[in-house]
Amino acid sequence: MRDADTPHVQRTPAGWRLPGIANLHSHAFQRAMAGLAEVQTDPADSFWTWRETMYRMAARFDPGLLRAVATQLYVEMLEAGYTTVCEFHYLHHAPDGAAYAPATAMADALIAAAHDTGIRLTLLPVLYMAGGFDGRALGARQRRFGHAVDGYLQLFEDLHARQGEHLRVGCALHSLRAVPAEAMQAVLAALPADARVHIHIAEQVAEVDECAAMRGARPVAWLLDHAPVDARWTLVHATHLDAAEVAGIARSGATVAICPTTEANLGDGLFPLRAYLDAGGAWGIGSDSHISVSPVEELRWLEYGQRLVARRRNIAVGSATPSVGATLFDGVQASAAASTGFTSREDAVVLDAAAPVLAGATADDVLDRWVFSGNRPLVREVHVGGRRVVADGRHALHEDAARDYADAMRKLLAD
């Protein structure tokens, strides 16, 4: 019924066992502002007004605060069933743009949080150089994000040398508006052949229009024409596509990282999922700004958004199965290695078989039940690299991380 290469769920004495889930897009520091941008500041509130709140929060972080927030976030991810996270990391410098000593201090905080919690980390240091497609200099609030090409490549080299069993280091190009074409080419030419490359793209209509005006093509079309996009690439959001771009991404082998809860929260728009599935495109999910830290909610709202537009049910189904839950789950599994750089099959999530919503479940319907039947957490155990990091639904650091996170929040929110 389902692709034989896709890992199946298994009934075990501990519960329903299934492979761990990769979170393909995360900005860890934004966990601290979840729920704090829901007050109207403009009658036309959008991503661009939300960004003002984000800048204010970003300016308050130092390495210690980032480690505390990331530790809490990674505990939450593991308890929800994520076993790998791609961290799109751009808080490189002090708020005034001065370099930390060492220059990797903020990245070190993320690596430490991942190590402490046991989650697999694909760290993606971000190249961020310009304030817009016109190449204008970074604004005062963006200076802590910025690098020249040489400085960025040194940062990448320093981090890449530390790769290990639970750490991969790739490259993130923030966006076409923040990375001039020449700089993009220089960085891509210098990367190791196996380095993963992630990029924000086509998230906002304004971004699409500005790219067309400044570069003579829509963002995804321009990227496909000017970069060696292949299976090593992950295009984050890619929300606003025309038919040729849908087909082009699918042909390239790149993965699209869809972040339904964040895209809904920001009013971004809906990814053209059915057309992309029909084209054979690879995709995964990310929690991005972490207004939700749940693969169930990402997958549920990925499907529900499509239903609201199409005004019919059961949109994300594949040729091998009529099950929406199985199709969605198979999709995130199929793209994980290409996006994250990890190929381990030792990561697993165990669902509570005794939960009422799973009463009478079978291997054919347990994924549909997990995704679409209620909000009670069903994750009982999580294993990463063969090590159990969540037992009875709780991570070993659950209480300690929450305490440190509360302390960090008091500091971040202090006047």
**Which one of 3.40.640.10, 3.10.290.10, 3.40.50.1000, 3.20.20.140 gives the CATH number of domain 13-413?**
3.20.20.140
Who contacts 170 (Cβ-Cβ below 8 Å, separation ≥6)? 86, 122, 123, 124, 195, 196, 197, 198, 341
Q: What residue spans define the domains of the chain? A: 13-413
Find the DSSP H helices in 227-272: 243-252, 260-265
237 flagged as catalytic: yes
Which residue in the list 174, 237, 240, 383 is annotated as catalytic? 237
* Annotated active-site residue in 288, 347, 352, 404: 288
Confidence of residue 2 (pLDDT cuts 50, 70, 90): very low
Asked whether residue 248 carries a pLDDT value surpassing 80, the answer given is yes
- CA distances to 226, 251, 271 from 188, in Å: 11, 20, 27
Catalytic residue flag (residue 160): no
pLDDT band at 415, cuts 50/70/90?
confident
3 state SS of 183: helix
What's the pTM value of the predicted model, to 2 decimals? 0.97
Give pLDDT, residue 111: 98
Mean pLDDT of the chain: 95
State pLDDT tens for residues 299-355.
999 999 999 999 999 999 987 889 999 999 999 999 999 999 998 778 999 999 999
Give the confidence band of 7 by pLDDT, cuts at 50, 70, 90: low
Cα separation, 297 vs 343, whole angstroms: 25
Residue 5: pLDDT above 60? no
> pLDDT by residue (tens digit) across 98-112?
999 999 999 999 999
Contact (Cβ atoms closer than 8 angstroms) between residue 239 and residue 245: no
How confident is the model at residue 320, as a pLDDT? 80
- Taking the alpha carbons of 28, 29, 30, 35 in that order, is the dihedral positive or negative? positive
Mean pLDDT of 135-142: 94
Shortest CA distance to 247 belongs to which of 225, 215, 278, 201?
A: 278
